[in-house]
């Protein structure tokens, strides 16, 4: 779209958001296309990290652990799976 073309507004007369149509979705871009916006959102804790490349993404596994191990990992609250991952990395020398 050239700079001289005006985009359709999706804000109504009373500042209500109008229904998004096929044109809106066709022109939509991911938030990562706007680095300044990403920086602002991250600064205010409103956006997580950028997506990782497929080879670096974590994999879901199912395993059975003893109840006392799970209780120990969960005792410090949220983030217990991240702590478990860090503990395994350290134990394996990775």
Instruction: Report the predicted TM-score, pTM, of the whole model to 2 decimal places.
Output: 0.47
Retrieve residue 81's tokens. 């799976």
pLDDT of residue 43: 84
> Tens-of-pLDDT digits for all 94 residues of the chain?
555 567 788 999 899 999 999 999 998 998 889 999 988 888 887 877 777 889 999 899 999 999 999 999 999 999 999 999 999 999 999 9
Bridge partners of 17, per DSSP, are 11
pLDDT of residue 3: 52
Q: How far apart are CA 87 and CA 76, in angstroms?
A: 14
pLDDT of residue 32: 85
Q: How far apart are CA 43 and CA 31, in angstroms?
A: 15
């Amino acid at each position: 779209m050239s700079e001289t073309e005006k985009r359709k507004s999706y804000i109504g007369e009373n500042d209500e958001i109008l229904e998004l149509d096929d044109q809106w979705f066709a022109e939509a871009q991911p938030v990562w296309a706007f680095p300044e916006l990403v920086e602002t959102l991250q600064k205010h804790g409103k956006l997580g990290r950028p997506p990782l490349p497929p080879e670096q993404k974590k994999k879901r596994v199912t395993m059975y652990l003893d109840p006392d191990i799970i209780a120990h990992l969960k005792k410090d609250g949220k983030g217990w799976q991240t702590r478990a991952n860090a503990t395994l990395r350290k134990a394996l020398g990775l």
